[in-house]
Structure 1
Amino acid sequence: MTDLVLSDSLAAARRRLEAALADAGRAPDAARLLAVSKTKPAAMIREAHRLGQRDFGENYLQEALDKQVELADLDDIVWHFIGPLQSNKTRDVAGHFAWVHSLDREKIARRLSEQRPDDLPPLNVCLQVNISDETSKSGVSLAELPSLAEAVMAMPRLRLRGLMAIPAPADDPIAQRTPFARLREALATLRQRFPEAGLDTLSMGMSGDLEAAIQEGATQVRLGTAIFGARDRSA
């Protein structure tokens, strides 16, 4: 993607988010754009940073670590880990990311808390919910969500911020909104149960369903294709 195209696509993504927030009657700053940069080169992230983007989401740990080394001079990048998280990856994630969106097991949470360096602030985490009950998807069930949330809130090096979901694909806007509404309701229930936690994040919505997610209260939307173009499937 050329410099001109990236600047255009990032500006278009920002306008799309602004329009969705306006249509939903929400404040212009009620949701932020998370640029999903998996499989994209560090040079493209550097250019997006030059254009004002600060939050970047990565799925693949080693790829992300390599990019972080190459982009170490950009000390205001906020790195989000959004991919499946295994036990053998927790130390590097705990030490090199500001956010984890894909937490769905107490064992992984405990390792992240224990391995978070003391010189860093607590790691911001979202609990990934299997909101469409898909057997192929990661995520905690709605039934198990309160107990996991309570366990995570007791871990000193983690800060529970909210919930994340990747619903089953749907083309109809109403069908898109249904699982997002369920996630919004789940967060509202957690807020009532744990008012002291300050839960403030709904990480939901991607390039194909941003508008539906914003209508249901998303505070972070994860856009990859809309910003960087089609993903390299060979990566």
Structure 2
Amino acid sequence: MTDNALPASLAHARKRLESALIDAKRPANDASLLAVSKTKPASMIRQAWTLGQREFGENYLQEALDKQAELADVEGIVWHFIGPLQSNKTRAVAEHFAWMHTVDRLKIAKRLSEQRPSHLPPLNVCLQVNISREASKSGVMPEDVAALAEQIATLPGLQLRGLMAIPAPASGLEAQRAPFAELRQLLEALQKTLPDTPLDTLSMGMSDDLEAAVLEGATLVRLGTAIFGARDTA
């Protein structure tokens, strides 16, 4: 995608979200776009920022840190880490991101909590749930979510905000909705068992299944291709 195409694609993505919220009979501000900018240059993030986009998701740590350095003059960017994270790289996420979407182990959570700088607010985290039980995917199994959430909710450097999932691809709206409904039900159960934790986030839905996710309560929809075009590959 060229920079000239970005305004139209971002506007279209916003319209899709707006229409999906209307169809779901939800308020217009009930969900927001997380622009997934992996493999895209900092110049495109800067352009999206000028168009009003503030939240950006990155999958690759070093690439993200390089972009953050290049965009240090831009105020108000909220950085989300949405990729897999090795335990020896937690410090950089703890120091340079506002959100972490892929927590699925207590070890990672403890390191992030311990390494979060004291001058920053707690790191917002989502538990990644392997909602489709795929052997090839990361994430805590649905039946283990409650126990892990209770442990993470006590960590001082973190703020548990909700759940994230990447379901297996499915054809048709109803088939797409099913795993998102299960994730929503898991969050609703956590809200009852952890009433003092602000569990308000469902990070779910991407370019191919935004509408299904919004119908089931998504609050953060992760769009990459729909905003920035096809992923750049080396």
Per the normalisation by structure 1, the TM-score is 0.98
Structure 2: gaps spanning 5 or more residues: none
How well do the aligned residues superpose, as a CA RMSD in angstroms? 0.6
CA drift at 1:139? 0.2
CA drift at 1:63? 0.1
For residues 8 and 155 of structure 2, the distance between their equivalents in structure 1, rounded to whole angstroms, comes to 42
For residues 140 and 210 of structure 1, the distance between their equivalents in structure 2, rounded to whole angstroms, comes to 23
Question: Which AA in structure 2 matches 1:58?
Answer: E
C-alpha distance after superposition, 1:70-117 (max 9, x if no partner): 000112100000000110110000000000000000000000000000
Tell me what 1:123 maps to.
Answer: 123
Tell me what 1:50 maps to.
Answer: 50
Tell me what 2:90 maps to.
Answer: 90
For residues 145 and 30 of structure 1, the distance between their equivalents in structure 2, rounded to whole angstroms, comes to 24
CA drift at 1:175? 0.6
Percent identity of the aligned residues? Answer: 70
For residues 102 and 136 of structure 1, the distance between their equivalents in structure 2, rounded to whole angstroms, comes to 15
| 2:24 is the alignment partner of 1:24 | yes
**SS of residue in 2 equivalent to 1:197:** coil
| 2:79 is the alignment partner of 1:79 | yes
After TM superposition, what 4+ stretches of structure 1 lie above 3 angstroms from structure 2?
none
CA drift at 1:172? 1.2
Tell me what 1:161 maps to.
Answer: 161
| 2:213 is the alignment partner of 1:213 | yes
Question: Which AA in structure 2 matches 1:135?
Answer: A
The aligned runs of 1:62-211 (5 Å cut-off) are 62-211=62-211
Tell me what 1:36 maps to.
Answer: 36
For residues 169 and 76 of structure 2, the distance between their equivalents in structure 1, rounded to whole angstroms, comes to 33
Tell me what 2:10 maps to.
Answer: 10
Per the normalisation by structure 2, the TM-score is 0.99
**SS of residue in 2 equivalent to 1:53:** coil
**SS of residue in 2 equivalent to 1:159:** strand
C-alpha distance after superposition, 1:136-189 (max 9, x if no partner): 000001111111101101100100000000000112111100000000000000
**SS of residue in 2 equivalent to 1:144:** helix
**SS of residue in 2 equivalent to 1:56:** strand
For residues 182 and 3 of structure 1, the distance between their equivalents in structure 2, rounded to whole angstroms, comes to 38
CA drift at 1:3? 3.1
**SS of residue in 1 equivalent to 2:40:** coil
CA drift at 1:4? 2.7
C-alpha distance after superposition, 1:22-65 (max 9, x if no partner): 00000000000000000000001000001100000000000000
